[in-house]
């Protein structure tokens, strides 16, 4: 399909509409975005990320593995068309999908992490190190629980908004 004569904003608008209506397009687009920003994610990690973004069992309950691999074939094709090569590493310590000849994380994500690290107070790090492992674990779980609750709440609000006339 020749898209050179179609303005980029028009294509983006069509894609946004497709994302809201078509779960396959949404899955594949989110897979693409994740893989462009992060590296060395396994199939299971990608599925969990997408379940968090699109809802549990977004690949289906039955043959979800087949669905995942079909989606990945299209995502690889899209990446190839843009000049990237998606590969899978089986190295110990760094298994998972990655984009060949790209840094471990995208420049955008590296910048976000750098700003986050700059905001950490050395006193907070000392307190963290002095905590018992069980307390650190509970604190980590509470952060995860809060993030999940925020996702659930935002999903509920989106669902409510879509039901409005």
Same-domain status, 65 and 130: no
Determine, yes or no, domain membership for 72: yes
Same-domain status, 160 and 94: no
Determine, yes or no, domain membership for 108: no
Which residue is listed with tokens 């690949």? 59
Q: How far is CA 81 from the centre of its chain?
A: 21
Cα gap 105→124, rounded to integer Å: 26
Determine, yes or no, domain membership for 114: no
Reported pTM:
0.64
The count of structural domains within the chain is 2
Q: Residue 4: what pLDDT?
A: 66
Q: Residue 35: what pLDDT?
A: 94
As a whole number, mean pLDDT of residues 5-33 equals 91
Same-domain status, 94 and 125: no
DSSP for 22-65 reads: -HHHHHHHHHHHHHHHB-SB-HHHHHHHHHHHH-TTTT-SSSHH
Which residue is listed with tokens 């608008």? 13
Domain limit, last residue, from 74, 102, 130: 102
Runs of H (alpha helix) within the chain: 8-21, 23-37, 43-54, 64-81, 107-118, 122-130, 133-163
Determine, yes or no, domain membership for 109: no
45 neighbors 96 (Cβ within 8 angstroms): yes
Determine, yes or no, domain membership for 35: yes
Same-domain status, 127 and 83: no
Question: Each residue of 51-100: pLDDT tens digit?
Answer: 999 988 899 888 888 999 999 999 999 999 999 999 999 988 889 999 99
- Tokens describing residue 90: 């089986």
Which residue is listed with tokens 């089986």? 90
Determine, yes or no, domain membership for 107: no
Q: Domain residues for 146?
A: 120-165
Same-domain status, 80 and 19: yes
Q: Of how many residues is the chain composed? A: 165
Same-domain status, 46 and 96: yes
- Tokens describing residue 61: 């309950």
What's 76's domain CATH number? 1.10.10
């Amino acid at each position: 399909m020749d898209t050179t004569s179609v303005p980029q904003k028009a294509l983006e608008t069509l894609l946004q509409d497709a994302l809201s209506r078509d779960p396959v397009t949404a899955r594949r687009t989110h897979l693409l975005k994740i893989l462009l920003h992060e590296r060395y994610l396994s199939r299971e990690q990608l599925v969990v990320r997408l379940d968090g973004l699109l809802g549990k069992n977004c690949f289906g309950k039955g043959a979800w593995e087949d669905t995942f691999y079909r989606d990945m074939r299209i995502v690889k094709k899209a990446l190839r068309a843009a000049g990237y090569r998606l590969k899978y590493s089986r190295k110990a310590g760094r298994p998972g999908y990655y984009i060949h000849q790209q840094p471990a994380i995208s420049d955008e994500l590296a910048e976000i992490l750098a700003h986050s690290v700059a905001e950490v107070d050395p006193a907070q790090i000392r307190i963290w190190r002095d905590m018992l492992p069980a307390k650190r674990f509970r604190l980590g779980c509470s952060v995860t629980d809060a993030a999940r609750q925020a996702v659930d709440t935002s999903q509920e609000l989106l669902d409510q908004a879509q039901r409005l006339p």
